[in-house]
A and B are shown apart, each in its own frame.
Chain A
Amino acid sequence: MAEFSRRDFIALSSALALAPSVGAAAAQPQQSGGTVIVAFGAGTPRHLNPAVQSGVATAVPGTQIFASPLRYDANWQAQPYLAKSWEVAKNGLAVTLHLVDDAVFHDGRPMTSADVAYSILAIKKDHPFKDMFAPVASVDTPDPHTAIIRLAHRHPAILLALSPALCPILPKHYFDDGTDLKINPKNSKPIGCGPFKLAEFVPASHITLERFDKFFITGRPRLDRIILQIIDDETALVIGMEQRQTHVQFFASEPRDIDRLSKQPHLAVTDQGYAGVGPINWLEFNELKKPLDDKRVRQAIAYALDRDFVIKNLLLGEARAATGPIHPESPFYTADVDHYALDLDNANRLLDAAGLKRDADGTRFGLTVDYIPGPSVQQQGVAQYLRPQLKKIGIDVTVRAAPDFPTWAQRVSSWDFDMSMDIVFNWGDPVIGVDRTYLSSNIRKGVIWSNTQNYRNPRVDQLLAAAATEIDPAKRKAQYVEFQKIVVGDAPIAYVNAVPYHTIYDKGLGNVPTTIWGSMSPLDEFYWEKKPA
């Protein structure tokens, strides 16, 4: 809610730059232009419209093509974007957005509040994350530059839901043509009012984005072109970065590769930019299967899983520990829970207390463990590690490999599993990405990343429902703190680590995205400080 908007700042600094310089105090000339080639490992997106499709592969290009009411900085503070200012009503039932008056879409037509209303209602209807805009009753548009979102109940998550990846503003005149938005072929040829327009989308090859000259923030974007080169092979990703064929890789998560590339003289590495995504790597238990229905058994496994060993040896120290349902970089995180530090004696005691005796060769019972297929050491590596480790407490673990993702998803979503490794994202506000794992109302067979653990705790249901509508920040935090303590105590899941997403980039690049949303945010400030030779 800056009084001194970004445009004013740029205008002022440009004026200072052009003014007769006062010796060495003159502002640096703004570098601009050039092409950045991104090593894009997220796969070919189905299409480029984040309004009806979540996921990284659509969000990275989508947030360049589309703009949103708000954008976020590295401290979870909302910043003006299409909304130059905004107010939340005292009763929490309305959010008024004051829109900029000079934003135009890539076809030249102006962006107005009608587009904002259309977009929010379309996202509410068709986006896979229903909880983001479900409480939106209507969006009033008293004038072309004001949009008032009216809520059926208080919904503190609404401000994060207006982020670039979650609330792209679509041009109504282009998309509202009678076709179901979910299958509209224009999703692969989108136009928006973001800093870049789509030049070319060739599946399995690349996505080319070109600078939009009439972007409403003057002087932006600074790059001429961004090319997302779709590279599926892990080795090719690394080699491309080493040989300077690609300049930046977002969402790099394999510790060996990160380590190797960080040693390259022309590359730098940062782990900033992923707090919004909030990705957690964990081991989930199916509470329908005996003896996992007994809390003591689940806790015993959690005590036996040596998180420090996994992080230090398998993940080469590149990841932070995860200790609960909320990501450590979230403002709602609390570390004040049982960390289940390695304690084999306690684990054995718990299993004895649960009445699971060891037989002649020391085995109490057997369990299978699944994992998301792929070369990831966080998934396959940890699953393999469980075999010798859980043997120490008398559990005979069989690692069950799935040939591909849908096979794994089928098994877990139809509750045909004992334990499984999994990676789940928080998506910013807990209402969006955390509730779905713990609410008893979200136990749905056949839906992956729902409450597949069949975890039921009425107090947790109560707390999550209350926190979803609590607008007092202190009270809300307290509710989530209690929620974390209860869930960690009940142990439906053994939390291992925060997924170590890193951005690897050429040292000549400036303004590498490190806000909470990272590259799922407009790259309008990204530029070549020093272009490669």
Chain B
Amino acid sequence: MALLSLLVRRLLHAAGLLVAVVCLNFALIHLAPGDPAQVIAGEMGGANAQILAQLRAAYHLDQSFADQLWIYLAHVARGDLGRSYYFNAPVAGLIAARVPATLLLVGTAIVWAVAAGTLLGIAAARRPDGLVSHLITVLSLVGFSAPVFWTGILLILLFASALPIFPVEGMHNIAELGRLGWWGGMLDVLYHLVLPATTLGLLYLAQYSRLARASMLEALGADYVRTARAKGLPEWLVVYKHALRNAILPVVTIVGLQFSQIFSGAVLVETVFDWPGLGRLAYDSILRRDSPTILGILLFSALIVIAVNLLTDIVYRLVDPRIRSGP
């Protein structure tokens, strides 16, 4: 029952939030100088006044801001995300084509950052003054301070010139397109995923390992852990079953909160590695002033963030019984 009322409240919040997101982003895009007609003229190497006027009329750019916003909101309410000004293709289709690539990248980055971060954090917590702990502290500081795109470019240079073992751009080996079977294709994508996912995850790995370390230290010092050890339980059971369950909560919280950040990190990583995902589409669309596409992506991202926050709340309730009985 509590869960149901939670869901209803969240959904109402979400609806309001989405409308606000659309209006705000619409305003921001229209503040940017230049319009899609100019972008198209630019790509064409020149255009005449007539064609520009036709394009501007077709895209309602000659109408007032309020009118344009209203037209767009009316479409969205009907579930129609419109057509891209640049490609003249449905926005929903463009987004759907890119979502799997981004989800793969972001999902992999989060999973490996959480897994590796937690393990490193545990290792550091077990020996707080040991070498591993200090190494992790340094690594965290560097990983956290370095900008995502810088790390990406550095990895590209490393793996392009010094150690050419991983591909540095794209999602597929273009030469082998269509020739690899399902399994071969999957392996090819995974092979291309290594560097971008590493870059994206590195930033968060730094944070999660520090957080896991601190959180584990606290957990390992608690009374119930002393009891468990006194009971004679093996060390691994104490650490991984009992202490970790409590220590993981802050990490889960932060992952949920940072999900939207990871998305924006994905924009940078996708651009640097030429990964054909949603982030790159967003970046390219801004440069092209392709409002329907930008708004479609922002709407979609807002939906995802809201969904993830909801999921985090649910995971919390599953992991921590104390929260279940709350208001």
Contact = CB atoms under 8 A, between A and B. Distances in A.
Contacts of B281: 204
B41 A447 contact: yes
Nearest to B157: A235
B33 A46 contact: no
A509 to B, nearest CB: 15
Interface string B36-58: 10111111111111111010001
Interface stretch (A93-101, A249-257, A404-412): A404-412
Nearest to A229: B174
B284 interface: yes
Given A245-B175, A405-B42, A407-B34, A447 B52 contact: yes
Interface in A44-59: 44-47, 53-57
Contacts of B42: 405-406, 409, 448
Contacts of A204: 274, 276, 280-281, 284
A128 B169 contact: no
Nearest to A242: B160
A339 interface: no
A206 interface: yes
Nearest to A416: B33
B34 A55 contact: no
A519 interface: no
A273 B287 CA distance: 30
A356 interface: no
A410 B33 contact: yes
A37 B32 CA distance: 37
B236 interface: no
B88 interface: yes
Given A46-B87, A206-B174, A407-B33, A235 B156 contact: yes
A410 B175 contact: no
A409 B47 CA distance: 12
Which bucket holds chain A's interface residue count? 35 or more
Question: Chain A contact residues: over half helix, strand or loop, or mixed?
Answer: mixed
A142 B213 CA distance: 85
A128 B51 contact: yes
Contacts of A227: 174-175, 177
Contacts of A245: 167, 173-175
B33 A128 contact: no
B170 interface: yes
B188 interface: no
Contacts of B174: 37, 206, 227, 229, 245
B153 A235 contact: yes
Given A47-B88, A129-B46, A208 B169 contact: no
Contacts of A53: 43-44
Contacts of B35: 406, 410
B202 interface: no
B210 interface: no
A239 B168 contact: yes
Contacts of B286: 404
Contacts of A229: 170, 174
A37 B45 CA distance: 25
B184 interface: no
Contacts of A236: 156, 168-169, 274
- CB-CB nearest 9 A-B residue pairs: A406-B34, A410-B34, A449-B46, A128-B47, A236-B169, A410-B33, A409-B38, A239-B160, A54-B44
26 contacts: A54-B44, A54-B45, A55-B43, A56-B45, A126-B51, A128-B47, A129-B46, A183-B88, A204-B276, A204-B281, A205-B170, A205-B276, A206-B174, A231-B170, A231-B274, A233-B271, A235-B153, A235-B156, A405-B42, A406-B32, A406-B38, A406-B42, A406-B288, A407-B34, A448-B46, A449-B47
Given A128-B48, A405-B34, 9 more contacts: A183-B58, A188-B87, A208-B177, A231-B169, A236-B169, A405-B39, A425-B45, A447-B48, A450-B46
